[in-house]
């Protein structure tokens, strides 16, 4: 439908489309929905050009109308509500990922070994406070735990650099 509506060259719509199933699946879980929108905003930040999220809504609704034989006003209202909320969450983040990536990179590059050690310890302190049962699974050496914490720092940077790959790697 995007091509028929004149949006065929808007490649950013493919990023939205590839995230759309997960967004819809998590509409009842506001925290998870926000996470999906956060990741989508990172993916959209890699696009160079103009992004008009309202265009996606038009294509989405046209596609859904053609797929649903008994489409009615309740469908229209519900799907519009979903997209308007997603659009609001994504717009709140537009333009921010590049600045966040730069600040995070500067922070990690400025840390000495003592600061990294503190982060390593705090990662586990926070994790075990949130999920005490996790202590049963982390019975490795301190060296191994530090390696895992260091990987978390690297992955935090990598999600800004290549969000699509990182989501696939983590999932």
Conformational region of residue 119, where left means phi above 0, alpha means psi within -120 to 50, and beta covers everything else: alpha
Across 86-109, average pLDDT:
94
- Please state, in angstroms and rounded to a whole number, the distance separating the CA atoms of residues 129 and 124: 8
Q: Is 12 exposed, middle or buried (0-12, 13-18, 19+ CB in 10 A)?
A: buried
Q: Label residue 2 by pLDDT band (50, 70, 90).
A: low
Distances from the Cα of 34 to the Cα of 28, 31, 41, 87, 120, angstroms:
11, 5, 10, 11, 27
Residue partners of 58: CB distance under 8 A and separation at least 6: 5
Q: Whole-model pTM?
A: 0.81
**Predicted local distance difference test score (pLDDT) of residue 6:** 67
pLDDT of 34 reads 96
To the nearest whole number, what is the mean pLDDT of the chain?
90
């Amino acid at each position: 439908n995007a091509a028929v509506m004149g949006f065929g060259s808007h490649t950013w719509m493919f990023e939205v489309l590839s995230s759309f199933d997960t967004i819809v699946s998590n509409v009842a879980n506001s925290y998870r929905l926000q996470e999906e929108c956060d990741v989508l905003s990172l993916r959209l930040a890699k696009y160079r050009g103009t992004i008009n999220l309202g265009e996606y809504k038009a294509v989405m609704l046209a596609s859904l109308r053609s797929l649903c034989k008994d489409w009615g006003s309740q469908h229209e209202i519900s799907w519009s509500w979903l997209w308007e909320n997603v659009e609001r969450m994504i717009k709140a983040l537009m333009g921010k990922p590049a600045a966040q990536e730069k600040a995070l990179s500067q922070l990690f590059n400025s840390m000495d070994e003592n600061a990294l050690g503190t982060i390593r310890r705090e990662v586990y302190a926070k994790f075990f406070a949130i999920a005490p049962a996790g202590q049963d699974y982390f019975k490795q050496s301190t060296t191994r735990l530090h390696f895992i914490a260091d990987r978390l720092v690297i992955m935090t940077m990598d999600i800004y650099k290549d969000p699509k790959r990182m989501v696939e790697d983590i999932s």
